[in-house]
Amino acid sequence: MIYALAEDSSHIGNIRETFFLNQLRVKYEVSSASNSDFLVDDMTFEIGGKRKGQKQIRGIEKGFIVKDDIEMGYLNTIPLWQFGLTY
């Protein structure tokens, strides 16, 4: 969708966040968060590439890092592709 509407200004960060939002908004209320990318119920999600660190969600009890370009998650890190299985 991004490539069709804004091919010249498509950015990988925007594509990742759009994918995450489109997958979760079907079943959940998704909103923007002041200290990260998204707030879903009482969980905070920060979206990024495989080098994304924990800095932005430090101190947040239900904070998760969603990384692109990884196969498996660990602790509070979830692969972005897994959100494609939500429906």
pLDDT, tens digit (0-9, with 9 covering 90-100), for 14-52: 889 999 999 999 999 999 988 899 999 999 999 999 999
pLDDT average, residue stretch 65-72 = 96
Sheet architecture: strand order including 77-79: 30-32, 38-40, 43-48, 63-67, 77-79
In the prediction, which pLDDT does 39 show?
95
pLDDT at 7: 66
pLDDT in tens, 71-87: 999 999 999 999 999 87
**Which tokens go with 33?**
């968060």
- Per-residue model confidence as pLDDT tens digits over 20-29: 999 999 999 9
DSSP secondary structure letter of residue 80: G
Q: Using an 8 Å Cβ cutoff, are 18 and 11 in contact?
A: no
CA–CA dist 69, 72 (Å, integer): 10
